[in-house]
Amino acid sequence: MHVGPPPNDGSGASVYAEAGQWFMNQMREGKVPGFEKDEHGILTSNRLILSKKEGIKYPAEVIFQVQKNKDENKIYWFLLQKSDIQSTWALEEAWTTDVKGMNKVEVMTKSASMQTH
């Protein structure tokens, strides 16, 4: 199933969908630390703000977790940030943990990501 571009209505769901689409494009282009261009995994997140009433506060942040198909004992975590409604998403930090969320290992720190922007 193909899903078109996310609606740009300012809701939490549209901002979240936009972040997911940006992240998936980065993965396809091989720009995600710890992943080769054609690697696959399961992308999840446990933080989703759906209410438009409260509005999205910027900088907006989304954290995605990815478990590689070929490495089920490790979870990759990615912190994305968007500074304002007009800016694009940026990968700010990346780390891995075991499947229980323990044994954190930095893959990309905030200071390193700032050097690439």
Strand order in the sheet with 60-68: 41-44, 60-68, 74-82, 90-98, 105-108
- pTM of full prediction above 0.75: yes
pLDDT tens-place values along the chain, 117 residues long: 344 555 566 667 788 889 999 999 999 999 999 988 888 888 888 765 555 556 677 888 899 999 998 888 999 999 999 998 899 999 999 999 999 999 999 998 765 554 444
pLDDT in the model for residue 46: 72
The distance of Cα 52 from the centroid of its chain, to the nearest Å, equals: 21
pLDDT in the model for residue 56: 76
pLDDT in the model for residue 33: 92
How crowded is residue 76: how many other Cβ atoms within 10 Å of its Cβ? 21
Q: Which of 79, 81, 96 shows the shortest CA–CA distance to 35? A: 96
For the chain, the distance separating the N- and C-terminal CA atoms, rounded to the nearest angstrom, is: 33
**How big, in percent rounded to 5, are the helix, strand and coil portions of the chain?**
20, 30, 50
pLDDT in the model for residue 114: 42
The whole-angstrom separation of Cα 114 and Cα 104 is: 21
pLDDT in the model for residue 91: 95
What does the angle CA 1 – CA 25 – CA 34 come to, to the nearest 5 degrees? 115
